[in-house]
Amino acid sequence: MTTTSHIECEPLSGALGAELHGVDLMHPPDEATIAAIRRAWLEYGVVFFRGQELPERAFLDFAKRFGAVVEYPFMKGLDAFPEIIPVVKLEHERVNFGGVWHSDTSYLEMPPMGTMLMAREVPPRGGDTLFANMYLAFETLSTGMQRMLEGLVARNSSAKADVSRTREDQVRARARDDARPDYTAEHPVVRTHPETGRKALYVNAGHTICFRDMTEAESAPLLSYLFAHQVRPEFTCRFRWRPGSIAFWDNRCTQHNPVNDYHGYRRAMLRITLAGDRPR
């Protein structure tokens, strides 16, 4: 365990992720604490807080300390706080929201910088979230593969079947009137993180459909290899939720996958998304 300012960082795995101790978010953190959290976030890719039973306003105010908040393109937020998206799986539902490995909304021209998720209700067991380090996914490829991938651009779509099915229950309850049927964007397969300068693999099984100037059939063999490679166990960590837990992940260098293993139980979360820039 390491200490940054007065914050203790407890790594969850050798790849990424750390629980941050010594912060009470019910009291707005000072600038030094926010800077320390950001340093840990950039180092570990995803950071976690425990025991933070925040009201919606305090959760939103905390998120805004790290950047501008953007709304999710398919779903309405809370009536009082439209920037906060409720993510709820009910007892009778069988599909969970975003239940595949993915990077958030990579089908947008400017995908989000990061995402915060706070647990309100969790099942007695199950419902963990997996995270994977896309720096390691790129850095462990051969130099020949790295050179080839750095010249490629990938097309990402919101309509890819595996992930579009995972939002159907949520959209049915809170669909936005202005949502388009499909969002599509092209991004480099290898992006350079604008703050750390490190290179990360930026394709994902949830949204990436093909490479530019290639058909889906031509792209499939290489994409299948990359999708399997980037979530190897040694690149991942696993987080077990409790009420009041918060996860804050860097969408530019990580992927995540909420595990759907809690049928018959309710799981209720609140999500905030932070604006990003165009991947380069």
**Active site positions, annotated:** 102, 104, 256, 271
Structure tokens at 112: 């989000």
CB neighbours of residue 6 within 10 Å: 11
Give me the phi and psi of 212, to 5 degrees please.
Answer: -60, 140
CA-to-CA distance for 229 and 234, rounded, in angstroms?
10
**Are the C-beta atoms of residues 229 and 141 closer than 8 Å to each other?**
yes
Quick one: DSSP state of residue 175?
A: B
**Are the C-beta atoms of residues 117 and 188 closer than 8 Å to each other?**
no
Q: How far from chain centre, in Å, is Cα 206?
A: 12
How many Cα atoms within 13 Å fall on the side-chain side of residue 231? 19
Look at residues 200, 12, 171, 40 and name the one whose alpha carbon lies nearest to residue 111.
200
Residues making up the chain, counted from first to last: 280
**Are the C-beta atoms of residues 223 and 229 closer than 8 Å to each other?**
no
